[in-house]
């Protein structure tokens, strides 16, 4: 599917997070020829499926199946390769086995960058835990003595994508990604999330607001049009040749 050999990794706590929060980044990089791997740690089956639980005769397995189906369709639309690790949610717990599985994935995939949740979120403790896993696995994958037969990882930058209430999460975007030309795909992927229809308009407006802000940060007099954008908080410095 890709015509470059570049890859990216997304660590999503629940199965819809990657759509709302970085669906544009996925679609945009896939369009640029990248291979994007998404790991859904859980289906959000307990914490983010309220609408499904109102249906008659619902069980945990049925909720998971419905959520998996939605997420798979969204991933297909965006062009991502998705895995479901089913480690549970609300509360999420990360075992060392899960950590080492993520380390292996890093070393196999050798991603150019990683996307995950904000480091803090007082409304949702699964989110920072997913980010911690993404970070700790990354550092472990850099260790020469961890897997002798594997290639050690370089230093892919980690970006925190946008949480629901940014200011309460001490999340400040330092990077805006223009997603104008893949917005239609992101919106289609969003519409796969039948169980959370109340969020469709919300995250559409998020993309519009970030678009306006991105435009302001390059100068409103520039010719370039930005209608939709996604905000990211890069956690470590960027190395450049030109400022």
Contacts of its own copies in 104-133 (CB under 8 A): 113, 115, 122-125
- Contact of 165 with 120, CB cutoff 8 Å: no
Residue 186: which of 156, 216, 224, 228 has the closest Cα? Answer: 228
- Angle between helix 183-190 and 200-218 (nearest 10): 160
Instruction: Output the smallest distance, CB 85 to its own copies, in A.
Output: 18
What is the Cα–Cα distance from 135 to 119, expressed in whole angstroms?
10
Q: What is the nearest approach in angstroms of its own copies to the Cβ of residue 239?
A: 5
Please, which residues bridge with residue 83 across strands? 39
Instruction: State the nearest-atom distance from the C-beta of 82 to its own copies, in Å.
Output: 19
Least distance in Å: CB of 173 to its own copies?
A: 5
Site for its own copies in 136-175 (CB under 8 A): 136, 139-140, 142-146, 148, 152-157, 159, 164-168, 171-175
Rounded least distance, CB 193 to its own copies, Å: 15
Total of residues contacting its own copies (CB under 8 A) = 86
**In angstroms, what is the C-alpha Rg of the chain?**
18
Binding residues among 171-210 for its own copies as defined by CB under 8 A = 171-178, 201-202, 205-206, 208-209
Which residues in the 68-97 window bind its own copies by CB under 8 A?
A: 89-91, 93, 96
220-239 positions binding its own copies, by CB under 8 A: 220-222, 226, 229, 231-232, 234-239
Min dist. Cβ of residue 44 to its own copies (A): 9
Helix boundaries (H) for 11-114: 17-31, 50-53, 60-78, 96-109
Q: Is 12 in the site for its own copies (CB under 8 A)?
A: no
CA 167, 196, 191, 129 dihedral sign is positive
The piece of 68-76, 78-86, 184-192, 218-226 that touches its own copies (CB under 8 A) is 218-226
Residues 17-46 that bind its own copies (CB under 8 A): 25, 28-29, 32, 45-46
């Amino acid at each position: 599917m890709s015509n470059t050999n570049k890859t990216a990794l997304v660590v999503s706590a629940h199965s819809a997070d990657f759509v709302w929060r970085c669906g544009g980044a996925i679609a945009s990089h896939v369009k640029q020829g990248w291979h994007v791997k998404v790991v859904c740690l859980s289906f959000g089956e307990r914490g983010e499926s309220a609408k499904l639980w109102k249906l008659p005769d619902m069980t945990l397995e049925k909720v998971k199946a419905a959520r998996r189906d939605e997420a798979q369709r969204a991933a297909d639309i965006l062009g991502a390769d998705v895995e479901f690790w089913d480690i549970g949610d609300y509360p999420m717990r990360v075992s060392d086995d899960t950590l080492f599985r993520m380390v292996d994935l890093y070393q196999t995939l050798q991603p150019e960058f990683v996307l995950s949740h904000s480091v803090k979120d007082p409304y949702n403790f699964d989110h920072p835990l997913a980010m911690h896993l993404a970070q700790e696995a990354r550092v472990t994958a850099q260790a020469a003595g961890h897997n002798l037969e594997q290639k050690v990882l370089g230093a892919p930058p980690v970006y925190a994508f946008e949480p629901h209430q940014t200011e309460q999460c001490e999340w400040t975007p330092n990077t805006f990604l223009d997603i104008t030309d893949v917005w239609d795909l992101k919106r289609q992927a969003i519409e796969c999330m039948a169980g959370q229809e109340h969020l469709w308009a919300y995250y559409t407006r998020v993309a519009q607001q970030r678009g306006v802000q991105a435009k302001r940060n390059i100068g409103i007099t520039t010719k370039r049009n930005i209608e939709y954008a996604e905000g990211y908080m890069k956690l470590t410095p960027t190395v450049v040749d030109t400022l």
